[in-house]
Chain A
Amino acid sequence: GQQLNQSPQSMFIQEGEDVSMNCTSSSIFNTWLWYKQDPGEGPVLLIALYKAGELTSNGRLTAQFGITRKDSFLNISASIPSDVGIYFCAGGTSYGKLTFGQGTILTVHP
């Protein structure tokens, strides 16, 4: 089946630093989505990308849909303690089926 490679697996940063994570795939996706999961909760959508090359921001978060439609990255600027959690990328097909990356565990030290 389709697989997404998400990196890094974990990050330990100081408050105020910028964060970058990415996902690559051997398959083409129509949609790239980025989710955040807090402990004991379901994933919550952060950013959705619909077009190759698209760059979208949501507050301190910026994500891009790769030109080849096989990759995406997420940047978080000026991290704060509440950014702690697991971040997932997901590639979507036209009928809504999602394939998830393994997740990036983010720890922010005050």
Chain B
Amino acid sequence: NAGVTQTPKFQVLKTGQSMTLQCAQDMNHEYMSWYRQDPGMGLRLIHYSVGAGITDQGEVPNGYNVSRSTTEDFPLRLLSAAPSQTSVYFCASSRTGPGAEAFFGQGTRLTVV
């Protein structure tokens, strides 16, 4: 079972470059989300989606865009990378409704120089 798959696992960008972090899930979950993890701050929600065609902002959305054209895929786009976006990014998926346990990918470690 693949679960949640994120690519790439590691990435180095120069300031100002753009890129897309990929996320795919094969559990037919309605809900998908992106988090960033910084030391001592836990995981913070960037954007989320409750279904294909529906996205919304989380706690720290600035500098990121998302779209949800299919149930399976939820890419995260960095428009113009900044050093403050150096972090570990996690994608998660879950069913909606009560008891919606989130399942996480293995993460993308991004460094912006």
Interface residues of A (CB under 8 A from B): 1, 4, 6, 9, 30-31, 33, 35, 40-45, 48, 50, 88, 90, 92, 94-103
Is the beta-carbon distance between A96 and B59 smaller than 8 angstroms?
no
- Distance of A87 from chain B, by nearest CB (Å): 11
Is the beta-carbon distance between A102 and B41 smaller than 8 angstroms?
yes
Residues of B near A33 (CB, < 8 A) are: 101-102
CA–CA, A95 and B56, complex, Å? 12
Residues of A near B79 (CB, < 8 A) are: none
CA–CA, A102 and B41, complex, Å? 5
Is the beta-carbon distance between B50 and A95 smaller than 8 angstroms?
yes
CA–CA, A42 and B105, complex, Å? 6
Is the beta-carbon distance between B98 and A30 smaller than 8 angstroms?
yes
